[in-house]
Amino acid sequence: MTLQDEIRKRKTFAIISHPDAGKTTLTEKLLLFGGAIRQAGTVKGKKGGKFATSDWMKVEQERGISVTSSVMQFDFDGYKINIVDTPGHEDFSEDTYRTLMAVDSAVMVIDAAKGIEPQTLKLFKVCKMRGIPIFTFINKLDRVGKEPFELLEEIEETLEIETYPMTWPIGMGQSFFGIINRKDKTINPFREEDKLQLNDDYEIEGSHEIENDEAFQTSVEEFMLVEEAGDQFDEEKIKSGDLTPVFFGSALSTFGIEEFLDTYVDFAPMPTPRETVNEELISPVDDAFRGFIFKIQANMDPRHRDRLAFMRIVSGKFTRGMETVLSRTNKKTKVSRATMFMADDTETVNEAYAGDIIGLYDTGNFQIGDTLYEGSAKKVEFKELPQFTPEIFMKVSAKNVMKQKHFYKGIEQLVQEGAIQYYKTVHTNQPILGAVGQLQFEVFEHRMKNEYNTEVVMEPIGKKIARWIENEDVITDAMNSPRSNLVHDRYDNKVFLFENEFATRWFTEKYPEVKLFSLL
């Protein structure tokens, strides 16, 4: 098989949603359907000791939520599908934003009862900004929810995107009978095995007792209306992210997933080009291997204190043992250990292609956003990944002073993952952590205790406005005050932590020569 054939087989997507819409359950069932696992764990199955395959971290299993992106691969219908289950909680949106830079399409999961929720909207806007195709799975049809037309209207008005239902529900909740597959006008019953066929007059071929059911007649009439008056199917609009194919089903019951996967592999894009800092587009079918690090995860196996760098392959073919160059340092390295993922289960990779996501064992050489390229190829550097300006800050110290070594090792590794940011005061070097949300601190404290055997003391210093400085040479000690606290970030850049908007304005008026800027 040629390089181009291998790359065309790759489909890489992220699953996005508001917390508790069923995102991790859908991930599980996709893996189950693709034959990647024999039994799906579930976030509801804590008593039996079963947990979602993609929620491998102890804190995730205890809380029943995803707080880190998980990467998995499975085969379906001749394709290699890379799937990324992202955190739904808004406090971990930075991890999700970076993950969306590493995929070619997204699957948006919507709870049929709740519709569009704030985090869904925020993540959708990132997808829209990148122009990546979005497939929508409306979940939990086996519970009472909003009417299908109401959900479609909400998607179109809130997200400003056209919809094209690929399936249509018959009833919901206790009366949920199944879905109509628009492509071939078959009915897939929820509680029966045999599919039913609709004829040209939208009647069931043969006889079936549901034909006289009022809910069935209503659903068929709605389906006819969609056929006649709905948006037209447009593959180009799907590719540009202006139209979303919509599927109805129940992830928990593995219902509606076959229809979704069949359509996804037909219309999701193959790996797409990526832009370098020099605005050069690197094609996935370029012979030379290139990739970028979008995530770093410490302690996927706490027994071995391992650290993995997640790399999206942008072009060419990766071969185990090949010589690569780290663009940031120009350092050559031979990659002898790489893995493919099944959440916490990994297997050694001998070769991988553009579109694949692999894990590189890392001793501290890699940073988020790093570019790797084949040793014999021309140097490239891909554009930086987004980093957020933190909003909440905490002073942190080790509870036991004898554990300082573990304390600083834990901080160093967890900060490199990108979920929290590290600062230190100018004169006393007091560690300060910054985060987008409170849950990030709770996860940090939990992981320090469980993975680094170090209890920490955290002292809130509240919300601050963090601003970096373009011209650090003009900064003086006189500018450092409780209202404009000067600290260093992990790269030793100077940063002001302002008390509030008023303090920020006062500072800029008093010191107009200081040029301040924020991250995203």
Q: What residues are designated binding site for GTP? A: 17-24, 85-89, 139-142
**Between β-strands 70-76 and 431-435, what pairing exists: parallel, antiparallel or unpaired?**
unpaired
Candidates 71, 38, 54, 138; CA nearest to 310 is 71
The secondary element (H helix, E strand) that includes residue 108 is strand 105-111
CA terminus-to-terminus distance, the chain: 43
- Say which DSSP state 92 is in: G
Q: Indicate the annotated binding residues.
A: 17-24, 85-89, 139-142
Contact 165, 148 (CB under 8 A): yes
- Say which DSSP state 60 is in: H
Neighbours of 222 (CB within 10 A): 18
Helix (H, G, I), strand (E, B) or coil at 202: coil
Report the distance separating Cα 337 and Cα 148, nearest Å: 48
Q: How far is CA 493 from the centre of its chain?
A: 29
Contact 236, 162 (CB under 8 A): no
Alpha helices in 89-117, H assignment, sequence order: 93-100
The CA radius of gyration of the chain, in Å to the nearest whole number, is 25
Candidates 26, 24, 80, 36; CA nearest to 247 is 26
Report the distance separating Cα 397 and Cα 401, nearest Å: 9
